[in-house]
Amino acid sequence: MDSILDKAYIAENFRKQGHALIDMMADYLAEATSDKEEIQAIPWQSPEEQLSYWQQDFSKPKVSDPLELFKDVMDHSIQVHRKRYLGHQTTPTLPVTVLSAAFTALLNQGMGVYEMGMVGNTLEKVLTEHLAQKLGYSKEASGFITSGGSLGNLTALLAARAVATDIWQSGYENGKQLAVLVSEEAHYCIDRAARIMGLGAAGIIKVPINARFQMRTELLEEYYQQALSEGKQVISVIGCAGSTSTGSYDDLKAIAAFSKKYNLWFHVDGAHGAPAAFSPTYKHLMAGIEEADSVVVDYHKMMMTPSLSTALIFKRGGDAYKTFSQRAQYLWTDQNTEEWYNGGKRSFECTKAMSALNVYTIFRMYGDGIFKENIERLYGLAVSFAEKIKANKSLDLAYEPQCNIVCFRFTATERDLSKINLAIRQQLLEEGRFYIVQTVLNGELYLRVSVMNPLSTEQEFQELLIAVEEKAHLILSAKDVGVDV
């Protein structure tokens, strides 16, 4: 057999390579909680170093076994399963979802039309309706799964526009200015979605926040009336159920009441924090979410699922069909019928990965209980971490955390605090044992920790604070630390 293509499909080669890969990944998972000194959360290299390495690799002779390549990729990548990974809101995926993701790749189902995604479209209906029930919706609620919160939020705002206007069919009228009301702390994808929709900077009305980084809902009336006086048509008010920088939950009840008063579409970006619905302890944070016309929830953040997998839930399932209306006669005969099993009628995507299987597999193996445990463990660790920060006179806690995102900074110096903390973060990054990120709050730079790994313990957080102080003292005593402090 001389054909490269034919050889590529030999099942026995796949079997051998697959077994070896599973062994390698199992070893990686077994090491996840290791305290070996050489274990890093991030093997830091500069962008130029990474580019040079992979350019050289690309020019090498082809490999006969992909395991060497996969090992190389792992060694050069951030390690989200390490218990000292405390950075962005990326989940350490459950091991079983690694298997389901591989199986999904094998089946390679499309989702736009029923016969290409018979199981996938059906699982999406089952999963989103179950999630809707957990959020407190009636049985009228339904939705679908899309590729990420950015796409989910954009689709929800397009639905809001479709309810309020005829722009999808008729286009924008000259001089028409649509607008949305949103917290200053909303994820940047909301701003981006509004601009994609043609609202421009003037159509993104950012409502100030309070000391806990929540929308000041008492200002909604003022900002709404100001928008009307400027000739703007507000189509939606957007609340955060776990804002990105701080994890703060807006007062969703107040936003719901305001939206109802003026018949405005109420959307909630619950990408990070909405899974608190699975926890009796933390569910109160989302009071009022059941009044939202639409909600975005990332399975790939707090629900331990591979990226990307985002549920978009509509309070009235039929609203999902108002977003897109166009002919695609090679897929379906009538665009105007509401067919949940033809995913392309409600989503941007046609050929979409069957990510629902990853989520469904978790539910079938572990049930709702695993999400409850994950939320309560991670949120609980954040509370105890915040207490450690408050007990340290060299550190300042930015706010009392409502979820598993904690922001703090080193303050035991008269020098520029933002520059000092930036230098601390950079040294931690280059050392690689811990991975944390940074954010800017009220114009000042803070260190930001997302407690995403249920394998992390209080010991790692104590070690992190020790490391932060050690780096700070080194920076303050050094003349040249690579950052002007």
Question: Average pLDDT, whole number, for the chain?
Answer: 91
Which residue matches tokens 């601009």? 195
pLDDT, position 332: 41
Q: Is the pLDDT of residue 305 over 90?
A: yes
16 Cβ contact list (under 8 Å, min separation 6): none
The pLDDT tens digits of the residues spanning 92-101 come to 999 999 999 9
Alpha-carbon gap, residue 115 to 122, rounded angstroms: 11
pLDDT, position 35: 79
Which amino acid makes up residue 326?
Answer: Q
Q: Does domain 10-43+78-93+370-485 have CATH number 3.90.1150.10?
A: yes
- What percentage of residues in the chain have a pLDDT greater than 90? 78
- DSSP secondary structure of 187-216: -HHHHHHHHHTT-TGGGEEEEPB-TTS-B-
pLDDT, position 337: 59
Mapped onto helix, strand or coil, the DSSP state of residue 100 is helix
Mean pLDDT of the 81-101 span: 96
pLDDT, position 485: 53
Q: Is 358 exposed, middle or buried (0-12, 13-18, 19+ CB in 10 A)?
A: buried
What is the tally of helices (H) and strands (E) in the chain?
A: 16, 11
pLDDT, position 481: 47
Contact 404/450 with Cβ under 8 angstroms? yes
More confident residue, 30 or 347: 30
Which amino acid makes up residue 341?
Answer: Y
Alpha-carbon gap, residue 258 to 64, rounded angstroms: 62
Give the domain ranges of the chain: 10-43+78-93+370-485, 109-366
Contact 134/283 with Cβ under 8 angstroms? no
Q: Is the pLDDT of residue 237 over 90?
A: yes
In the beta sheet, which residues pair with residue 204? 180
More confident residue, 324 or 294: 294
- What percentage of residues in the chain have a pLDDT greater than 70? 94
In the beta sheet, which residues pair with residue 445? 440
Contact 170/158 with Cβ under 8 angstroms? no
Band (pLDDT 50/70/90 cuts) for residue 325 is low
Tokens of 115: 């016969």
Q: Does domain 109-366 have CATH number 3.30.1600.10?
A: no
Q: Look at 208-222, 284-298, 314-328, 366-380 and tell me which has the smallest mean pLDDT.
A: 314-328
Mean pLDDT of the 446-460 span: 96
pLDDT, position 244: 86
Tokens of 456: 């992390």
69 Cβ contact list (under 8 Å, min separation 6): 63
pLDDT, position 338: 65
Contact 452/91 with Cβ under 8 angstroms? yes
Band (pLDDT 50/70/90 cuts) for residue 483 is low
Contact 287/277 with Cβ under 8 angstroms? no
pLDDT, position 327: 43
Alpha-carbon gap, residue 455 to 42, rounded angstroms: 17
The CB-side HSE value for 392 (13 A sphere, CA atoms) comes to 22
End-to-end CA distance of the chain: 65
